Amino acid sequence: MAVSDFDLKNTVSDNRLVGLWRMMTGFRLAYLGALVGVGVAAVLQIGNSLLLRYLVDDVLAQGRFDRTLLLVGLGFVALALGEGASSFLSGKLTAQSAEGIARRLRNYLYDHIQRMSFTYHDHMETGELIQRATSDVDAIRRFLADQAINAGRIALLFVVNFTALSILNVRLALLSIVVVPLIVVVSIFFFKRVTKAYEAYQEQEAKLSTTLQENLTGVRVVKAFARQGYEQEKFEQDNWEQYQRGRRLLTFHSLFWPSSDVLCGFQMLGAFLTGALMAINGTITVGTYLAAARMIIWLIWPMRNLGRLIVQMSTGIVSYNRVIELIKEEREPLDEGTCVPDGNVQGDLVFEDVSFEYENGDSRVLRNISFRCKPGQAVALLGSTGSGKTSLVNLLPRFYEYTSGSLTLDGVELKEYPRGYLRQQIGIVEQEPFLFSRTIRENITYGVGRDVSDAEVEAAAQAAAIHDVITSFPDGYDTLVGERGVTLSGGQKQRVAIARTLLKDPRILILDDATSSVDTETEGLIRQALQYLMQGRTTFIIAHRIQSVMDADLILVLDHGRIVQRGTHEELMAQDGPEGRGMYRRIYDVQARIEDELEQELSDQTAYLWETEEVETEQKGLAYVRV
């Protein structure tokens, strides 16, 4: 079975052992083969002990130093080779199974996380997801590769050695396992406590990973505000808590080992003493005693290791639970929908009393939103932070589902369209575009999903006013942009994002404050590219500056999730509100006053610099005349 063909949701079970067995689908035969190899090695090991008994009692004791001694020696060699081959085969099959299952888990979780809903990602920390997809998967791999197979090996060794020892002497066999029930009880005692301690340890490690991930992602902000000391202190606090929980976990391990060693040591000493007395009394032969002593060693010490494995297996069980919790989460159904048009949508959007609130939200983010956007029109959304602008456009690609009202696209309820189809029809240019650590060409072609010619890529870049910049780089379109596009300026990243959207050729366009974080010259270039991008497309423009929305066909002014004004720029400038001027006009006046003040200050500074330069020139001229 191919790695990608198996849905791990089928492994979910209330019984963890059943779930693990289902997770091994496709690798069960190999794993059972590994167990058979372990069993064969255990039987051959008993053969060594019995052959040792034969050597002492029937060969050496009777002085048979002939061909029999040579055959016995060859027998030891053959048993050792057989045991080694069986152990090798078992190890190989175990490694193949464990690594294959871990690989399938990692691939599945990577795909699964990408298909989770926006609501899930809103409340789940990135570090927690990374921890479950890496550290927890590796713990499951170790569980299958080491702990589970060794538990089976120990169980087989116990059964085989106890059976063989019982055949030699029942009394000695029973006396050799007196402490075994106590070891099992102690192991279970520590198992329960180690499970809780390891779960707490993993949760804190996930928190530490989140802290580190956030710091590395925002390292420029940290440096800009000189907050290295604060971040170090925060990390040290989380790291100290990790240390405390790790120390508690290791304390349980350190308490278990001495207690199990003492119990096993006394058990082995008692068994050896009993066997020696029986050999001295003639109850058993010397060869039987040596064989029994070897069996006792392989009976007691594996049981001691079983206790260790029981304690260590708790880590695998905890990690399994954490991974299953993630697998249980429902994916966002991308193909679910009854309406799949043959071609592209027209872009006729109608909102009728649409309301929306986030899950577990205290209040509605959007309230009774109603308007229509005809195909090819541009609708601008203006309002303060938190007024609901981004929440409104996030309904269009079905990142979130509106909770009431009706939202239709080309006369069909939006919920009837599959999410995957909608997102193919919609292009988004964000305020801070995300670029992958790949070449510029790969970033531009990222959203297309088909083979793209160089001519198409260059045409999109030229339309986005970024082609000349790209060709000025030594590697051109093959230039690596670095993590999150760090090697490009803000304006360059924005124009690469516009080229990416142009190449996708969407019917509906969302511009989320695409010019707010660039300088005036770059803003002009971006506006030129956006004008080209908007042609013939239904466009939603989110902006804080009125200058960015003045040319829109419809401007909606939002406040606390409601539309408080609507119309064109000219209409809104003429509208009055409860306090005299409407909100749109008040925002316009404030922004105009700020721009005038900045222009006046710039003019004053320029005049001052000219006057200073003229005075310095006159002083230099007088000094020259005097000379």
CATH value at residue 128:
1.20.1560.10
In this prediction, residue 485 carries a pLDDT of: 66
Residue with tokens 């260059």: 458
In this prediction, residue 262 carries a pLDDT of: 82
Is residue 551 within 8 A of residue 580, CB to CB? The reply is no
By percentage, how much of the chain surpasses pLDDT 90? 16
Question: How does the average pLDDT of the chain come out, rounded?
Answer: 83
In the sheet that 538-543 helps form, which strands lie side by side, from edge to edge?
Answer: 426-429, 508-512, 538-543, 378-383, 554-559, 562-567
Q: How far apart are CA 503 and CA 529, in angstroms?
A: 13
Is residue 364 included in any domain, yes or no?
A: yes
Mean pLDDT of 200-217: 78
Q: How far apart are CA 585 and CA 484, in angstroms?
A: 38
Residue with tokens 């053959």: 78
Q: How far apart are CA 566 and CA 351, in angstroms?
A: 14
Q: How far apart are CA 209 and CA 567, in angstroms?
A: 49
Is residue 367 within 8 A of residue 550, CB to CB? The reply is no
Is residue 276 within 8 A of residue 297, CB to CB? The reply is no
For residue 170, the Cα-to-chain-centroid distance in whole angstroms is 56
Q: How far apart are CA 236 and CA 215, in angstroms?
A: 13
Q: In 3-state terms, the chain is what percent helix, strand and coil (to 5)?
A: 65, 10, 25
In this prediction, residue 372 carries a pLDDT of: 93
**Number of residues that make up the chain:** 627
Residue 2's pLDDT band, with cuts at 50, 70 and 90, is very low
In this prediction, residue 617 carries a pLDDT of: 54
Asked whether residue 438 carries a pLDDT value surpassing 80, the answer given is yes
In this prediction, residue 242 carries a pLDDT of: 86
Same domain for 383 and 304: no
* Phi/psi at 451 (5° precision): -70, 135
> Which of 176-190, 196-210, 273-287, 479-493 is modeled with the greatest confidence?
273-287
> Which is nearest to 361 in space by CA: 559, 129, 119?
119
Interval 78-93: pLDDT, tens: 999 998 999 999 999 9
Residue 190's pLDDT band, with cuts at 50, 70 and 90, is confident
In this prediction, residue 627 carries a pLDDT of: 46
Q: How far apart are CA 549 and CA 558, in angstroms?
A: 14
Asked whether residue 513 carries a pLDDT value surpassing 50, the answer given is yes
Same domain for 249 and 174: yes
In this prediction, residue 259 carries a pLDDT of: 76
Same domain for 361 and 240: no
Is residue 378 included in any domain, yes or no?
A: yes
* Phi/psi at 563 (5° precision): -85, 115
In this prediction, residue 606 carries a pLDDT of: 65
Same domain for 313 and 355: no
Residue 625's pLDDT band, with cuts at 50, 70 and 90, is very low
Is residue 89 included in any domain, yes or no?
A: yes
Is residue 204 within 8 A of residue 242, CB to CB? The reply is yes
Asked whether residue 603 carries a pLDDT value surpassing 70, the answer given is no
* Phi/psi at 351 (5° precision): -100, 130
Interval 550-567: pLDDT, tens: 888 999 999 888 998 899
DSSP string, 351-372: EEEEEE--TT-SS-SEEEEEEE
Mean pLDDT of 443-453: 85
List the domain range (segments joined by +) for residue 131. Answer: 7-328
The mean-pLDDT minimum among 2-11, 122-131, 143-152 falls in: 2-11
Same domain for 530 and 471: yes
Residue 546's pLDDT band, with cuts at 50, 70 and 90, is confident
DSSP string, 473-513: STTGGG-B--GGGTTS-HHHHHHHHHHHHHHH--SEEEEES
Is residue 444 within 8 A of residue 499, CB to CB? The reply is yes
The mean-pLDDT minimum among 192-206, 332-346, 496-510 falls in: 192-206
The mean-pLDDT minimum among 28-37, 337-346, 401-410, 598-607 falls in: 598-607
Same domain for 134 and 25: yes
Number of domains comprising the chain: 2
In this prediction, residue 612 carries a pLDDT of: 65
> What residues contact residue 436 under an 8 Å CB cut-off, 6+ apart?
442, 443, 446, 481
**Beta bridge partner(s), residue 413:** 408
Residue type, 330: E
In this prediction, residue 15 carries a pLDDT of: 85
In this prediction, residue 432 carries a pLDDT of: 78
In this prediction, residue 605 carries a pLDDT of: 67
Same domain for 286 and 248: yes
Residue with tokens 């066997």: 275
Residue 4's pLDDT band, with cuts at 50, 70 and 90, is low
In this prediction, residue 42 carries a pLDDT of: 87
Continuous H helices in 218-227 = 219-224
Residue type, 384: S
Interval 331-340: pLDDT, tens: 888 888 888 8
Long-range (24+ apart) CB contacts under 8 A made by 161-164 are: 161/42, 161/46, 161/295, 161/298, 161/299, 162/299, 164/46, 164/49, 164/50, 164/295
Same domain for 177 and 40: yes
Interval 348-392: pLDDT, tens: 999 999 999 887 665 788 999 999 999 989 999 988 888 888 899
Residue type, 89: L
Asked whether residue 1 carries a pLDDT value surpassing 50, the answer given is no
The residue among 41 and 624 whose pLDDT is bigger is: 41
In this prediction, residue 8 carries a pLDDT of: 86
Asked whether residue 608 carries a pLDDT value surpassing 60, the answer given is no
Asked whether residue 347 carries a pLDDT value surpassing 60, the answer given is yes
In this prediction, residue 29 carries a pLDDT of: 92
Name the CA radius of gyration of the chain, rounded: 37
Mean pLDDT of 384-408: 90
Same domain for 320 and 235: yes
Asked whether residue 3 carries a pLDDT value surpassing 60, the answer given is no
| Per-residue b or e along 338-356, where b marks 16 or more CB atoms closer than 10 Å to that residue's CB | eeeeeeebbbbbbbeebeb
Q: How far apart are CA 627 and CA 625, in angstroms?
A: 5
Asked whether residue 282 carries a pLDDT value surpassing 90, the answer given is no
Q: Retrieve residue 524's tokens.
A: 């002009």
Which region, left, alpha or beta, applies to residue 398 given φ > 0 means left and ψ of -120 to 50 means alpha?
Answer: left
Same domain for 355 and 280: no
Domain boundary pick from 548, 582, 616: 548
Same domain for 381 and 235: no
By percentage, how much of the chain surpasses pLDDT 70? 88
Is this model's pTM higher than 0.85 or not?
A: no
Domain boundary pick from 273, 293, 328: 328
> Which is nearest to 144 in space by CA: 98, 78, 211?
98
The mean-pLDDT minimum among 6-10, 483-487, 622-626 falls in: 622-626
The residue among 603 and 4 whose pLDDT is bigger is: 603
**Beta bridge partner(s), residue 541:** 380, 511
* Phi/psi at 134 (5° precision): -120, -70
Same domain for 370 and 318: no
> Which is nearest to 530 in space by CA: 556, 552, 557?
552
Residue 460's pLDDT band, with cuts at 50, 70 and 90, is confident
Domain boundary pick from 505, 522, 548: 548
Q: How far apart are CA 216 and CA 159, in angstroms?
A: 54
Is residue 470 included in any domain, yes or no?
A: yes
CA dihedral 263, 266, 269, 273 (to 10 degrees): -130
In this prediction, residue 30 carries a pLDDT of: 92
CATH code: domain of residue 411: 3.40.50.300
**Beta bridge partner(s), residue 508:** 426, 538
Interval 86-120: pLDDT, tens: 999 999 999 999 999 999 999 999 999 988 888 88
Asked whether residue 599 carries a pLDDT value surpassing 60, the answer given is yes
Is residue 528 included in any domain, yes or no?
A: yes
Residue 140's pLDDT band, with cuts at 50, 70 and 90, is very high
Q: How far apart are CA 510 and CA 523, in angstroms?
A: 17
Mean pLDDT of 529-537: 79
Q: Retrieve residue 191's tokens.
A: 């198992």
* Phi/psi at 463 (5° precision): -65, -30
